[in-house]
Structure 1
């Protein structure tokens, strides 16, 4: 499904990874049965429902960018992001920046909890 308004709106949001503005709408290309999302074929563009805002550096330009790894699902997981769920959540509030920011703040909060070092000398 093509939705140029959704893509334009996604580009106004800060990056789901760094919180930086100046984002592209990065399509999620891996399959996810939870959302009926098929694997993207070589000649088929991914559905505009499954996009997330990330910077060009995070998307294609940086040495560890989304499109440089070849293992996109693992790339998102390594960043503590359930990409298809987050994209679906943003799709549900498309155009409502206040609701999107609440979703992103919760994502960042959860990610920061995952990245904190363990307390108390854990083994």
Structure 2
């Protein structure tokens, strides 16, 4: 992929603090959302629904689905671990209160993804 820098560490770049994800892309083609290879957000879909579709696509690429109760439970357990990480980072002063609140809110929205499928 032109311009990909898989060996680039996260950190300040021309756009500020960036974690480079290009090297983490799937090797094969990504399953199109709603059958449309060039996904365009729809006005009739809530942000929560759009997030649920995005998260489900990650699982679908691995032949899993959040509609499976065991997979959804494992997903929630993983998010519990991320929340624990955020709480620890806040307690250690690595993460400020505003960032902690914002990230915790984002995780809460992500946690509801299985409910929108």
Q: Would you say same fold, with TM above 0.5?
A: no
Q: Which has the higher helix share?
A: 2
Q: Which has the larger radius of gyration?
A: 2
Output the TM-score relative to the length of structure 2.
Answer: 0.30
